[in-house]
Amino acid sequence: MNEVFLIISIYLALKLALDMMQIHTIKHSEIDNQSSDLLGIDIHEETKSRDYNIAKLKLSIIKNLIYVSWLYLLLFGGGINELNIILQSFFESEYIINLCVILITYLVMFVSILPVSYYSTFSVEANYGFNTSTHKLFLRDNIISVLMTIVLIMFISSIFLFIIRFENLWWLLMASAIFGIIILSIFIYPNYISPLFNKFKNLENEEIKNEVKDLSDKTKFDISNLYVMDKSKRSKHPNAYFTGFKNNRRIVFYDTLIDLLSPNEIKAVLAHEIGHYKHNHVIKSLVLSTFVIFVGMYFLSYLINSNHYLMLLNLPLTESSQLLALVFTYQILSFFVDPLFSMLSRKNEYDADNYASEQVDSEYLVTSLIKLYKSNLSFLIPNKFYAMFYFSHPTVLERINNLRGNK
């Protein structure tokens, strides 16, 4: 057993342990009567929430096992080596062989996870009343996703296969290329990619528009880029999000959210989303991500340039192996950085809540949070270690206590 095999095994063990700890917490934690009364949940709703979240966690465990099993097979089982040998009998171009290795590896991973995604959509989500998608729509979405991912992989791989030849500078060039792609995606995704999956339209409800106009005037925030998305075509989960910056910024409400909340509650949610903009959360997250990418690429360059490291991964000494080693290693190491991003995200949510409470009656945000909590079957009490890695938002009780000053 070499060092890399041990690290991947520890990575899998930690992810499984976090999921199992969260399942144990959900099964055995007790919600006090005061919290139940505040949120207006009864024993039936509490049980349904427990069962739903446990079902999702079990699927997460299956996905992790499938993913790491393929890692073991492709790396230590010699799968990448065999794939290279097979492709060499069909192609002479080293570039084509390298590109095919990368694409086939992705497709193998995607196809192996697809049954789990299907079960999640048409069994788990359907059984708990969330799924509204059809088999045709599910197939269409996945085909579009695969095609776009293949194009992106070919683009990034071509860049990497070119710049890897600059032995001492490739990490800087690759990090710069990734940063450029992230910036480009911020502008491209809302206008060209999202519309491939959902329809976006302007807000039509006059009562809500009046509340929005009032908030816009008060906050001096241009709401011309406020859209309603047809989320109900696929799911009943309600939500809203803010994306972009400067002239490209936009706020999107799911149509399921519009149906769930009152005009004053929607105004409060909008104030929260404006808070993200006022606090420059998108830019701050981008700066942190950029820092992590550049620092990560710098340190990973020492591993990726090492033939010894590729041999530990049981990979052939090819440029495609270097890229695959980079992707696998970065993904595993980024897992240990996730708590930092989750902590920052939770802080951002508090900041946005506090901003909203200065613009509107905070009780409207409280009631909207309660409705969202109940509608999404969220569970009230997370395992603290699981939350540290995976919770991008504070719990509903933490947010309500913050809004009401009970910190």
Tens digit of pLDDT for each residue in 159-172? 988 888 887 888 99
Read off the tokens for 274. Answer: 């404006």
- Which 8-state DSSP code applies to residue 342? H
Instruction: Please report, for the chain, how many H helices and E strands are present, in that order.
Output: 19, 4
pLDDT in tens, 355-364: 999 999 999 9
- As a three-state string, the secondary structure of 79-119 is HHHHHHHHHHCCCCCHHHHHHHHHHHHHHHHHHHHHHHHHH
pLDDT at 376: 93
pLDDT tens-digit profile of 92-129?
888 898 889 999 999 999 999 999 999 999 999 999 99
Do the bridges between strand 226-229 and strand 250-254 make them parallel or antiparallel, or are there none, so unpaired?
parallel
* Cα distances (Å, whole numbers) of residue 388 to 75, 339, 381, 395, 398: 30, 5, 13, 12, 14
Closest by CA position to 124, among listed 38, 73, 52, 172: 52
Report pLDDT for 1: 53
For the beta carbon of residue 295, count every other beta carbon within 10 angstroms: 12
Q: Residue 407: how many CB atoms within 10 A of its CB?
A: 8
Q: What is the model's pLDDT at position 317? A: 86
Residue whose token pair is 């241009």: 222
**Radius of gyration for the chain, computed over Cα atoms and rounded to the nearest angstrom:** 23
Polymer length of the chain: 407
Question: What single letter denotes the amino acid at residue 185?
Answer: S
- Nearest-CA neighbor of 14 among 326, 338, 379, 378? 338
Q: Which residue has the higher pLDDT, 200 or 186?
A: 200
Specify the pLDDT at position 142.
95
377 within 8 A of 48, measured Cβ to Cβ: yes
pLDDT at 385: 95
Question: Is it the case that residue 246 has pLDDT exceeding 90?
Answer: no
* pLDDT at 407 (0 to 100): 47
The C-alpha atoms of residue 318 and residue 100 are separated, in whole angstroms, by 13
pLDDT at residue 366 is higher than 50: yes
Cβ count within 10 A of residue 106: 18
Residue with tokens 């030849």: 165
Percentage of the chain exceeding pLDDT 70: 99
User: What does DSSP assign to residue 230?
Assistant: -
Task: Please give the model's pTM, rounded to 2 decimal places.
Answer: 0.89
In the predicted model, is pLDDT for residue 5 greater than 60?
Answer: yes
Q: Measured between alpha carbons, how far is residue 8 from residues 3, 82, 348 in Å? A: 9, 21, 32
Distance between CA atoms of residues 161 and 378, nearest Å: 44
The residue type found at 114 is L
pLDDT of residue 42: 83
In the DSSP assignment, the letter for residue 392 is S
In degrees, rounded to 5, the angle at the alpha carbon of residue 387 between the alpha carbons of residues 324 and 48 is: 110
pLDDT at 63: 94
**Residue-level pLDDT at 349:** 96
Q: Are 270 and 362 in contact (CB under 8 A)?
A: no
Beta-carbon contacts of residue 147 (< 8 Å; ≥ 6 apart): none
* 3-state SS, residue 6: helix
